[in-house]
Structure 1
Amino acid sequence: MSKARRITDKAITSDQLSSLNGEFSANSAAVLAQNAVTRTALNDIAVNHRVLAGSSHSMSTRLDDWKVTNQKKSGRCWLFAALNLLRAEARQILNVKNFEFSQNYPMYFDKLERANYYLQSIIETADRPLDDRLVTFLGDSLMGDGGQWNMSSSIFKKYGAVPQEAMPETQSSSDTDQMNSRLKTLLRKAALELRSAVGKGAEEAELDALVQQTIAQVHKVLTIHLGTPPSTVDWQWIDDDKKFTRAGVLSPQEFLAKYTTLNLDDYVCLVDDPRSEHPKGKTLTVEYLGNIVGGDPTVYLNVDIQLMKDLAKESLESGAPVWFGCDVGPQMLRTEGLWDAELFDYDGVYGVDLSLDKEQRVNIGESAMTHAMLFTGVDVLDGGTRRWRVENSWGDQGADQGFYTMNDSWFDEYMFEVAVDKNKLSPELRAALEEAPRVLPAWDPMGALAS
């Protein structure tokens, strides 16, 4: 083994800088790029005109004829996408084209439940030092808005759903930063108190009392910011045919059951984890990835990307939208509403090879699931998919009034997850769902939360 190098021995020298400056000045392509990029945004220079001009937005199957939603300054995309899936059924049952579920309602209970999940995790890890990687991770990731499909399913099954008018948006639901910051402080303070109590040998009843005291404080803060969640809905409406219907008083659980038919227990998350050490056809989970104590565990079935495409296409062609998670930022033109794996030629601008494959990007922290949306259309030619229509939750400015186009090349590189009916899987894959999942550490890239 070679002798360890000392970082202090390897400083950049003035001679090295002088040589680099000379090489740059002699490189006409680099100087041209400098002239362009110093006066124009990089993406306007790097955009691949061939890809942009050659990208059609038409679809052979298109389900959406409704307006998009807007998560605004919040990280609730996973909830918006899940509610957009549910409302695709509700709008048909209600015969109301632009019906929306309240997005504020499930966020309220996600925050409340997540506070309890964190406090219980702190008690469970109280024997670890405060600077332990897991303890630090739990504190750093506390009270974010992001989530996963299984987390939304857990909320809906426990708390149901309500129409938007029953719990409308507030300033803090649409801009969560201040609320989240105060909740983090409250919970971190409680974590120190709980760890101290455990260290002093506190009985379980004392720990439970401390947790309940903190949950009451979290409840108060949430209710101040988000309003009081309704326990019932007095529901009546006029549909798109001008017909009036009075349903009467319903609980949120009754409302969800009455106006959707989706069996949440039938849905499973398929992922493309590209790392070679994680075999396809096996399940994965991530420790401490959840929001409700006793809720659905977040379990992924790792499959080939082609299977994800096939099942998403099958679902769309049968009339059902598809919830999915991806790494939303790379190779995206937001105004035009387009994703393509070759949309930007950064290598050409810099004259530097920036290429990484999907496995390399995940391993080095370059890529992870960051955003959840809904597939509402697909273009198929000779049985193969060419592009996908996406309902985003960033409002109707840009793209096709908020609906985006994803070319198939982008699906391969930056898609990570789809939620599909497990009954569409092969017997072998259904059997794999019954096996104990491989447990990944809390900070694993597959634990990234869509926001």
Structure 2
Amino acid sequence: MHATNRDISESDLEEFQKEYGKSKIERVVARAVQKNGIAATSEDYEAQKNLVRVFSLELETGKASNQKNSGRCWLFATLNTMRQQYAVKYKVKDFELSENYNSFYDRLEKANHFYESVITTASLPFSNRTVKNLFDFPDDDGGQWANSAALVEKYGVVPKAAMPETFNSEKTSEVSEVLARKLRKDGVSLRKLIAEGKTDKMLETTKKGFLAEIYRILVYAFGEPPVNFDFEYRNDDKQYFNDRNITPKEFFEKYFEWDFADYVCLSNAPDHKLNELYELPSQGYIHTGLQVTFANTMIDSLKTATIAQLKDGEAVWFGSDVGKDSNRKLGVLSAKLYKKSELFDIDLNLSKSDRLRTGDGTVSHAMAIVGVDIVEGTPIKWKVENSWGDKYGEKGYFIMSDDWFEQHVYEVIVKKQYLNENDGKILSKQAIKMDPWDSLA
């Protein structure tokens, strides 16, 4: 039974004030927190002592890329793993693919998916949770690994020089605002046409007209994607090469030995049942491409498969909650970095499962694992290639403790050949459909 008095009373406040004033040390701590902030005051110097940036297994990598003020980490991480293969094979250390090129088609495909979803759900009221979610997030620059895979397979890739960044690709807030308003307005119009009983042909014509306008907005913001281009480069041995009038799909097929169907997303989301396959239909916006699926398993499976792929010379895409227990400037990810529970003398710990189910934990950022330090068969720390430029960490590279991997890494993209027998069996299961607002979304 709920207490009768539901508000904070004056006597409650007096009790709180009296309780706080008992210890002088609390006032000392309060002054430190007020002056320096919670993170700085709770940071544990001891946690950094063993995070030496030396790794027993380390891939050869180039200059860190920079997504700047955009949410394209998922795409940067994918293209960074791909460019690592290219750089080794063709001896071009600091080669970079154009994220702007694939971002253009990402936003166009999301717009089409939005229109199709509006048509599918037109009979449902705006108060329906699925419809509300659809109009709340009509088109942004976030995404999943499977989205980047589908984009590359459909549209290919180009070098950064063939479609360089623009103001809007590096700072996406303005174009995202315009796209969101445009799509919501178009969505209302499509629902109205369906309510009036218009034909499927008219709906299709209307949708294509809307998409043509979206295309124009994207060209203004990002530039027009090249249909073909000339590829010129000089490798690290100073040898000159050129490939004239090549298309983006030809470029991908010629220069990359890459089959996205060989890969799988292993997830460790303990708020979901383990040893099950999950699918997120709401984010699979290219219907003929790879869909967003997760083979949910134990965290040790993610580590083992990651190490196996690194040993074969290939970087690993991973999704994590980068804002937790991290120092952005130093480039340190450690579950022991901050002692906030000790600072406030309050237990602030939540299990990984509870963090996901309550929204405290999210898959907020994607990066690439490019190294690991293994001591007596056990991983101790990991080397991470981020996409925040070279001003953070060690020239853009972060160090991740193994306990941070356990607590805050939720998914890795690895080749199926590295899965153990149990995890391989998950792939043959019927996928469980997840809602658009699922914790892994």
Q: TM-score range by the shorter chain?
A: over 0.9
- Please say which of residues 428-437 and 117-126 is displaced more in the overlay: 428-437
> What is residue 384 of structure 2 aligned with on the other side?
390
User: What's the secondary structure of 1:261's corresponding residue?
Assistant: coil
> What is residue 215 of structure 2 aligned with on the other side?
219
- Please say which of residues 181-190 and 12-21 is displaced more in the overlay: 12-21
Contact 1:30 / 1:351 at 8 angstroms: preserved in 2? no
User: What's the secondary structure of 2:36's corresponding residue?
Assistant: coil
**1:391–1:83 distance in 2 versus 1, CA, 3 Å:** same
Give the C-alpha shift of residue 290 in structure 1: 2.1
Contact 2:81 / 2:315 at 8 angstroms: preserved in 1? yes
Give the C-alpha shift of residue 428 in structure 1: 4.6
User: What's the secondary structure of 2:290's corresponding residue?
Assistant: coil
- Please say which of residues 423-432 and 175-184 is displaced more in the overlay: 423-432
> What is residue 408 of structure 1 aligned with on the other side?
402
Specify every segment of 5 or more residues in structure 1 that has no aligned partner in the other structure, as ranges.
Answer: none
Q: Residue deviations 1:50-102, cap 9 Å, x none?
A: 11223222100111341100000000000000000110111123321111000
Contact 2:383 / 2:397 at 8 angstroms: preserved in 1? yes
User: What's the secondary structure of 2:62's corresponding residue?
Assistant: coil
> What is residue 433 of structure 1 aligned with on the other side?
427
> What is residue 293 of structure 1 aligned with on the other side?
287
2:277 corresponds to 1:283: yes
**Count of equivalent residues:** 441
Report the TM-score when normalising by structure 2: 0.97
Give the C-alpha shift of residue 139 in structure 1: 1.4
Match of 1:256 among 248, 252, 256: 252
Match of 1:185 among 178, 181, 184: 181
> What is residue 362 of structure 2 aligned with on the other side?
368
Within a 5 Å distance, the mapping from 1:156-195 to structure 2 comes to: 156-195=152-191
User: What's the secondary structure of 1:136's corresponding residue?
Assistant: helix
Match of 1:423 among 400, 417, 422: 417
- Please say which of residues 156-165 and 256-265 is displaced more in the overlay: 256-265
Contact 1:368 / 1:446 at 8 angstroms: preserved in 2? yes
The one-letter amino acid paired with 1:195 is R
Match of 1:335 among 329, 339, 345: 329
Match of 1:94 among 74, 90, 95: 90
2: CA distance, partners of 1:5 / 1:22: 23
2:346 corresponds to 1:352: yes
Contact 2:367 / 2:385 at 8 angstroms: preserved in 1? yes
1: CA distance, partners of 2:176 / 2:353: 33
Contact 1:64 / 1:377 at 8 angstroms: preserved in 2? no
Contact 1:109 / 1:155 at 8 angstroms: preserved in 2? yes
Match of 1:79 among 51, 55, 75: 75
User: What's the secondary structure of 2:79's corresponding residue?
Assistant: helix
**1:14–1:371 distance in 2 versus 1, CA, 3 Å:** same
> What is residue 21 of structure 1 aligned with on the other side?
17
The runs of 4+ residues in structure 1 deviating greater than 4 Å are none
Contact 1:113 / 1:293 at 8 angstroms: preserved in 2? no
User: What's the secondary structure of 1:288's corresponding residue?
Assistant: helix
The one-letter amino acid paired with 1:59 is F
The one-letter amino acid paired with 2:216 is K
Report the TM-score when normalising by structure 1: 0.95
Over aligned residues, Cα RMSD in angstroms?
1.3
- Please say which of residues 178-187 and 84-93 is displaced more in the overlay: 84-93
Contact 2:266 / 2:412 at 8 angstroms: preserved in 1? yes
1: CA distance, partners of 2:95 / 2:50: 35
> What is residue 42 of structure 1 aligned with on the other side?
38
- Please say which of residues 327-336 and 73-82 is displaced more in the overlay: 327-336
> What is residue 269 of structure 1 aligned with on the other side?
265
Contact 2:325 / 2:338 at 8 angstroms: preserved in 1? yes
> What is residue 381 of structure 1 aligned with on the other side?
375
The one-letter amino acid paired with 1:328 is V
2:335 corresponds to 1:321: no
2: CA distance, partners of 1:291 / 1:93: 32
Contact 2:318 / 2:411 at 8 angstroms: preserved in 1? yes
1: CA distance, partners of 2:47 / 2:423: 37
